[in-house]
Amino acid sequence: MMATMAIPQQKTAIETIDLSVAYNGKPALRGVSLAFPENAVTALIGPSGCGKSTLLRALNRMNDRIPNAEMTGRVLLKGRDIYDRRINLTRLRREVGMVFQKPNPFPMSIFENVALGPRLHYGLRGRALQEVVEDALRKAALWDEVKDELSKSGLALSGGQQQRLCIARMLAVQPQILLMDEPCSALDPISTQKIEELITELGKQYTVIVVTHNLQQAARISHYTGFLMYGEVVEWGETRQLFERPARAETEDYIHGRFG
Amino acid sequence: MMDTVRSGMARAGGWESLAAQRDARRARTNALLMGAFGAVGLATVLLVLALVAIITYHGAPTLSWEFLTQPPREGMSAGGVGPMIFGSVLLMLGAFLMATPLGVFGGVCLAEYGERSRLMRLMHASVAALAGTPPIVYGLFGLAIFVLKFHFGVSLLAGWCTLTLFCVPSIVLITESALKTVPAALTDGGLALGLSRWQTLWRIALPYALPGILTGVILSLGRAVGEATPVLFTASVYYSTAETTLSWETLRQPVANLPYYLAEGYRQPGVVPERLIWGACLTLILLTLLLNAGAILVRYRMRRRYL
Ligand SMILES: Nc1ncnc2c1ncn2[C@@H]1O[C@H](COP(=O)(O)OP(=O)(O)OP(=O)(O)O)[C@@H](O)[C@H]1O
Ligand SMILES: [Mg+2]
């Protein structure tokens, strides 16, 4: 199999080795080997159905939830295979947080949405818990908008605020890697811009992996980009280079709108 | 291909005239069906209202504070139905406390493990069958097991156990279906945060499903409180002169209750005057209406909080 595609001189946060996933025997990912660099934003692009979400879900084992998904290959987080039987799933998902395409706040107050994770994972309460919640909401650029109504339902927020609430909720459990599956696709341009700024900011401290259909967005926010087609990585490299001087004809076709 | 479509359109006089014919037909069908549904719906509502109206007409004159609180007097021919109301409420409360945890637990099991396990699918089918089993079967089962085998005797305790059995299947089914309405996105959100399956269930899914579950529990109790047959052989006494008090002894004694009073009172004509029967009938209906109103209130209150 092809050697793992890594960015030279970059520390790897999480990496897949010859990762294949099939649903009901139909392959969705074929031998993907990618090393995602630490403390940077990586974008995953590619036509619909090419396996971006599947790849993302393989990184925090959310594919386990799908009964007909079969996986081969390995995913290494800090050198450890996350599909190892002895791995602690709770701990893995604490370290690798995820935000979904559609905002999914829990039906509870804004405060509770963010507090639930740290309370259950770290036993925080009182002042310490409040600090963690405030910190997470600040990082998610939501604090100023909600600080006076923390007891309001999370569902009473706008779509863009809900998505930032979900990001805050994820940050509050202190992850190192953030997975985001089309986090802006349900949002208006202004909310989208807010989330983009947020991702750029988060990329300084966290390893962020974003799936997006918006190529300009990928170009704007990411340092590295992977282009997938038919479950395979077609091209992988620095975003600037991939967009300006793509190495493969398929990449060039795709980014110039001649495919999908 | 395109040509035949075009010529067809030309013959028919364009898209608009094609649509116009269907629009007219659609409007007719729609009016007809909506009218039919409306008529049947109205008939149902009227039927229920008529029933309540008749019972209210006959029962209302009897209703009084005295009727609701006093025991029967003069060999059942006068006085009130206080002990029967007390007994019915007591039976119901016990069944509520026992059946709710059992039923919710069963429903959680079915919802969590239901799809993948053949055993659970079998359980689901059995529970559904049990929920449709006539109450008299529960009554006889209770008699055989609790009254005779366990030597509870005809008693409040045996009545509680029987009513619990009677309520559990429907609570299981309600809990299961309420949990299935929890959006997968919420559960995924919990799991992606690193919560365990149990934590996701307890912190996210159950609170979400709770209004539905409680409504189902209350409705199931409402049905149980009006049934005479589960308690017929297990807990009922027509009337005992013993004071209606609460003590450990009460557990082993039979209790009077409204449905049994109605059934017996009606079976022995001439003993209980008709106006008392009507009054008890209305009281029972009011009790179930009260429960239903409670269910609606609970749901409304909870929904308003965070949904
Ligand atoms: N739960 C599932 N069961 C069966 N097949 C699935 C399932 N999820 C995804 N697939 C299939 O796997 C392939 C990859 O899907 P995936 O969702 O990863 O694509 P994607 O790149 O995220 O697409 P999109 O851009 O539309 O979100 C598709 O062919 C899809 O039909
Ligand atoms: Mg996707």
Range with the lowest mean pLDDT among A41-55, A136-150, A189-203, B73-87?
A: B73-87
pLDDT 10s digits, B54-71: 999 999 998 889 888 888
Cross-chain residue pair A154–B306, CB shorter than 8 Å: yes
Torsion sign over Cα A72, A73, A77, A79: positive
Cross-chain residue pair B306–A155, CB shorter than 8 Å: yes
pLDDT 10s digits, B105-132: 999 988 888 777 788 888 888 999 999 8
Share in percent of chain B as helix, strand, coil (round to 5): 80, 0, 20
Q: Which amino acid residue places its CA nearest to atom 22 of ligand 1?
A: A53
Cross-chain residue pair B208–A107, CB shorter than 8 Å: yes
Say if ligand 1 is within 6 A of residue A64 CB: no
pLDDT 10s digits, A94-131: 999 999 988 999 999 999 999 999 999 999 889 999 99
Say if ligand 1 is within 6 A of residue A28 CB: yes
Tell me which chain A residues have a C-beta less than 8 angstroms from the C-beta of B194. Answer: 89-94, 117, 121, 173
CA dihedral A174, A212, A35, A21 (to 10 degrees): 100
Residues in chain B: 307
Could you tell me which residues of chain A have a Cβ less than 8 Å from any Cβ in chain B?
Answer: 60, 62, 65, 67, 89-94, 97-98, 100, 102, 104-109, 116-117, 120-121, 153-155, 166, 169-170, 173
Say if ligand 1 is within 6 A of residue A94 CB: no
Closest-approaching ligand to the CA atom of A180:
2
Q: Identify the CA nearest to B209 among candidates B146, B141, B303.
A: B303
Q: What angle do CA A222, A30, A62 make, to 5 degrees?
A: 65
Taking the Cβ of residue B303 and every Cβ of chain A, the question of whether any pair is shorter than 8 Å is answered with: no
Q: What angle do CA B93, B95, B99 make, to 5 degrees?
A: 125
DSSP per-residue letters across A142-199: -HHHHTT-TTSBGGGS-HHHHHHHHHHHHHTT--SEEEEESTTTTS-HHHHHHHHHHH
Say if ligand 1 is within 6 A of residue A50 CB: yes
Give the residue-averaged pLDDT of B156-165: 92
Q: Which amino acid residue places its CA nearest to atom 11 of ligand 1?
A: A28
DSSP per-residue letters across A124-144: --HHHHHHHHHHHHHHTT-HH
Q: What is the pTM of this model?
A: 0.82
Say if ligand 1 is within 6 A of residue A20 CB: no
Instruction: Kindly tell me if the per-residue pLDDT of B98 is higher than 80.
Output: yes
Domain boundaries, chain A: 12-255
Q: Which amino acid residue places its CA nearest to atom 7 of ligand 1?
A: A23
User: Percentage of chain A surpassing pLDDT 70?
Assistant: 96
Instruction: Kindly tell me if the per-residue pLDDT of A189 is higher than 90.
Output: no
Instruction: Kindly tell me if the per-residue pLDDT of A241 is higher than 60.
Output: yes
Q: How far is CA B34 from the centre of its chain?
A: 29
* Residue B224 token pair: 């149980």
Instruction: Kindly tell me if the per-residue pLDDT of B258 is higher than 50.
Output: yes
Check whether domain A12-255 has CATH 3.40.50.300, yes or no: yes
User: Percentage of chain B surpassing pLDDT 90?
Assistant: 41
Q: What's the pLDDT at B37?
A: 95
When pLDDT is cut at 50, 70 and 90, the band that residue A192 belongs to is confident
Share in percent of chain A as helix, strand, coil (round to 5): 40, 25, 35
Q: Identify the CA nearest to A175 among candidates A140, A212, A148.
A: A140
Q: What's the pLDDT at B175?
A: 94
Say if ligand 1 is within 6 A of residue A159 CB: no
Give the residue-averaged pLDDT of A139-161: 90
Instruction: Kindly tell me if the per-residue pLDDT of A1 is higher than 50.
Output: no
For B241, list phi and psi in degrees, rounded to 5: -80, -10
Mean residue pLDDT of chain B comes to: 87
Say if ligand 1 is within 6 A of residue A217 CB: no
Q: How far is CA B1 from the centre of its chain?
A: 60
When pLDDT is cut at 50, 70 and 90, the band that residue B242 belongs to is low
Cross-chain residue pair A153–B305, CB shorter than 8 Å: yes
Mutation test of ligand 1: which of A24, A29, A50 has the most ligand atoms closer than 8 Å to its C-beta? A50
pLDDT: which is higher, B76 or A29: A29
- Ligand 1 atom nearest to CA at A213: 25
Residue of A93, A108, A155 with shortest CB distance to B194: A93
Taking the Cβ of residue B196 and every Cβ of chain A, the question of whether any pair is shorter than 8 Å is answered with: yes
Listed in sequence order, the DSSP H helices in chain A are 52-58, 89-95, 110-122, 126-139, 143-146, 159-171, 189-202, 215-221, 239-244, 249-255
Q: What's the pLDDT at A259?
A: 62
pLDDT 10s digits, A58-81: 999 999 888 889 999 999 998 889
Q: What's the pLDDT at A191?
A: 82
Give A184 to chain B, closest Cα distance, Å: 16
DSSP category for residue A38: T
Contact B124, B114 (CB under 8 A): yes
- Ligand 1 atom nearest to CA at A51: 18
Mean residue pLDDT of chain A comes to: 90
Q: What's the pLDDT at B227?
A: 85
Rounded to the nearest angstrom, the distance between the alpha carbon of A61 and the centre of ligand 2 is 15
Taking the Cβ of residue B190 and every Cβ of chain A, the question of whether any pair is shorter than 8 Å is answered with: yes
Q: Which residue of B has its CA nearest to A58?
A: B192
Q: What's the pLDDT at B307?
A: 64
Three-state DSSP at B214 gives helix
Residue listed under structure tokens 């905002």: A103
DSSP category for residue B134: -
Q: How far is CA B147 from the centre of its chain?
A: 25
Cross-chain residue pair B305–A67, CB shorter than 8 Å: no
Cross-chain residue pair A67–B188, CB shorter than 8 Å: no
User: Percentage of chain A surpassing pLDDT 90?
Assistant: 66
Cross-chain residue pair B194–A173, CB shorter than 8 Å: yes
How much is the ipTM here? 0.90
Cross-chain residue pair A62–B193, CB shorter than 8 Å: no
Q: Which amino acid residue places its CA nearest to atom 29 of ligand 1?
A: A49
